[in-house]
Copies of this chain bind each other. A is one copy, B any other.
Amino acid sequence: MNLRPLIAGLFFAVCSLPSGAEDGYDLWLRYRAIDTTAHPALVYRLGPVVAGNVSTSTLVVAGEELRRGLQGLLGTEVPLAREVKNPGAIVYGTPESSPYIAELRLPLANLGREGYLIRSVKIAGQPAIAIAANTDVGVLYGSFHLLRLLQTRHRIDVLDVSSRPSTQIRVLNHWDNLDGHVERGYAGQSIWDWHKLPGWVGPRYTDYARACASIGINGAVLTNVNANATSLTPAYIAKTRALSLALRPYGIRVYLTARFSAPIELGGLKTADPLDPAVRAWWKKKVDEIYAEIPDFGGFLVKANSEGQPGPQDYKRTHADGANMLAEALAPHRGIVMWRAFVYSNETPTDRAKQAYDEFVPLDGKFADNVLVQVKNGPIDFQPREPFHPLFGAMPKTPLMMEFQITKEYLGFATHLAYLAPLFEEALDSDTRVKGKGSTVAKIVDGELHGYKYTGMAGVSNIGSDRNWTGSHFDQANWYAFGRLAWDPELSAREIAEEWTRMTFTNDPSFVKPVVEMMMDSREAVVDYMTPLGLAHLMDTGHHYGPGPWVNSLNRADWNPTYYHRADEKGIGFDRGPTGSNATAQYAPDVAKLFADQKKVPEQFLLWFHHLPWTHKMASGRTLWDEIAFRYTRGVERATKLRDTWYELKYRPDMQGYIDAERYAQIVAFLQIQVDEAQWWRDACIAYFQSVNKLPLPAGIAPPRQPLEYYKSLKFPYAPGRG
């Protein structure tokens, strides 16, 4: 089915948009009116919104959000009031700010600094809803929660909700450069307009903060991990301060990346040795300077001695030495250091998958109190599927933060539908076995297993200047899912998908059901057409757009796809068991045994851990080669099904259908691009592997559409998001 003519037709149908069209800017905070005849229980006598003594900007924005949300959802004016006079009031605040909340004596003790309660209560004899917390930001989170209940059509007549976050530091990592380019960004430029800051602080920063707060994100690292010392100059500190003013009411702290060599580049020192007193003094002074402008500055994220970045090893010091120096400067201000474990080196002869573990495990217990080590979900680099990172569970004395990649560097950029919550969930649910069964990664990250003082989860942002924020409408779900999971790793990918779909599109079950199925199948589709059976890192060089399994000419061995798949005439896969790199030994014994056993290892990790002959017999009864060809082909079929499911969702030109014409049309076009690119991935990979093994394709599997040389000849010098 070729949808191109259809798309062209659609284009003219939606050709130009009235102001206020559904262009995705509103994200999941659309607050469109509830059909009150269908949901009378929901909207029965709601409002006014009753504030207490609102003296902080956070309570102001909480009240405004409640009012805005209710006005949209109920379709009526909802006043802000100071007193409860009628049934249906929504009373919000802390015991300190609201006398009503104080009087209710709600059980707030276990909610911590950010948790909240939402309860059906009686106030002055009238039924009311109370949103209560120990802090203003807790009240704000509770306000968004109540709105979400309405948006997703939960009953609100008998409410007893209590929630607190599982992790303390829930941050987005913006890989944004000071010139506006976003490394691995597929949604336009950076949303930070550094050039016009601090003179112009636009309203988009506030809408960013609203969206983040609505899902519990409480921090933003503004700058790229491939850091630039300029961000620490006074002119840029003033810019960062202006941003912090916009984000602070929403409970969002700003963080910066610290370039390790900044004392040389900015301070004119001859060294950046972390044990050098002048270097330490420089950082202390710099940090004091930042806090003088931004009193709630969060701290630093650091990528050191990785992919060319400077770091403590340049001076024969350890990562702990480097992190602790910064931690010392930050400690008096309660700032923290997030030190990335993403280190590997071409000079190290070891399997790249092993290097972070080798480097960091010996340092366990040597980091200062206010240092967290930030670990990617898998041991390589955000591939469509990786086993969990062996560091999880291996550093009981060092708080380990999770680092997920929300931007789809390796999963089809902006156009492919790849809902990532199943990937996040798979990582969090992985059982490390370090303290027996049930020692999940989630329990390490949330501090339960090792009693970490700090806990956190970082997501590499997919946000940019595109009108719909994330480049595609479905990619908004990945931002959403990251925030929801950082707050509560117990949530299932499916329930998050359903919640998001209801808020973003419609509550109509005949839309929600198939769309949630699309989302839930999408990541497996990508795995199938890009890297099935534990293959990884097959993408083209530099931009990472499209397939490049043949690439073997890069200076660094560990940047070549051939390093990862190791395909030759006889077989394919990376032997990481005891006969190979022995990376399996970095896992707890039970897990190590499982992964090292080619008969027991989950098939999805087969070629990650094992090099096997093409003729290896699979559970399906197929040979390995046939299975690979089958999976690639199935990936294209799955992508095709995504498109066709969407296409069949009764689009209605009168805009009274499930979804507006504009978003519908873009999603159709993107799903068609996904089908085309899935085919390209499949054909290129099959053509290449077949050129290596010279084996025939199994019956029923179509040959690649073009010869291998064609796929090799494709060049994309202007693909977005370059590093």
Do the beta carbons of A719 and B195 come within 8 Å of each other? yes
Partner of A669, one of B17, B199, B414: B199
649-679 of chain A: CB within 8 A of chain B: 662, 665-666, 669-670, 672-673, 676
A606, B68: Cα distance in complex, Å: 59
A interface SS class: loop
Do the beta carbons of A203 and B465 come within 8 Å of each other? no
Residues in B with CB closer than 8 Å to A613 are: none
Do the beta carbons of B26 and A19 come within 8 Å of each other? yes
What's the tally of chain A residues with a CB closer than 8 Å to chain B?
56
Do the beta carbons of A16 and B207 come within 8 Å of each other? yes
Do the beta carbons of A246 and B11 come within 8 Å of each other? yes
A200, B669: Cα distance in complex, Å: 6
Q: Which residue of chain B has the shortest Cβ distance to A61 in the bound complex?
A: B15
Binary per-residue interface labels of chain A (49-80) against chain B in the complex, 1 for a CB within 8 Å, 0 otherwise: 00000000100010010001000000000000
Do the beta carbons of B179 and A718 come within 8 Å of each other? yes
Q: Given that A189-B465, A718-B178 are contacting pairs, would A203 and B16 also be in contact in the complex, using a CB cutoff of 8 Å?
A: yes
Do the beta carbons of A194 and B666 come within 8 Å of each other? no
Q: Given that A188-B188, A207-B16, A230-B718 are contacting pairs, would A11 and B465 also be in contact in the complex, using a CB cutoff of 8 Å?
A: no
Cβ-based interface call for A25 (8 A): yes
Partner of A415, one of B16, B200, B670: B200
Binary per-residue interface labels of chain A (208-251) against chain B in the complex, 1 for a CB within 8 Å, 0 otherwise: 00100000000000000000001000000000000001100000
A455, B57: Cα distance in complex, Å: 59
Do the beta carbons of B12 and A57 come within 8 Å of each other? yes
Do the beta carbons of A17 and B207 come within 8 Å of each other? yes
Cβ-based interface call for A201 (8 A): yes
Q: Which residue of chain B has the shortest Cβ distance to A210 in the bound complex?
A: B16
Cβ-based interface call for A127 (8 A): no
Partner of A200, one of B178, B246, B666, B717: B666
Do the beta carbons of A188 and B465 come within 8 Å of each other? yes
Residues in B with CB closer than 8 Å to A203 are: 11, 14-17, 662, 665
458-480 of chain A: CB within 8 A of chain B: 465-467
Binary per-residue interface labels of chain A (1-32) against chain B in the complex, 1 for a CB within 8 Å, 0 otherwise: 00000011001101111111010011000100
Residues in B with CB closer than 8 Å to A200 are: 415, 666, 669-670, 673
Do the beta carbons of B15 and A245 come within 8 Å of each other? no
Do the beta carbons of A673 and B196 come within 8 Å of each other? yes
Residues in B with CB closer than 8 Å to A345 are: none
A673, B198: Cα distance in complex, Å: 10
CB of A104 to closest CB in B, whole Å: 30
Q: Which of A7, A61, A200, A414 has the most CB of B within 10 A?
A: A200
Besides A16-B207, A199-B415, A467-B467, 4 more A-B contacts (Cβ < 8 Å) are A11-B206, A15-B206, A20-B20, A188-B189
Closest 4 CB pairs of A and B: A20-B20, A199-B673, A179-B718, A178-B718
Sample of 11 A–B contacts (CB below 8 Å): A11-B245, A12-B57, A16-B207, A19-B20, A178-B718, A179-B717, A188-B188, A199-B670, A199-B673, A201-B669, A465-B466
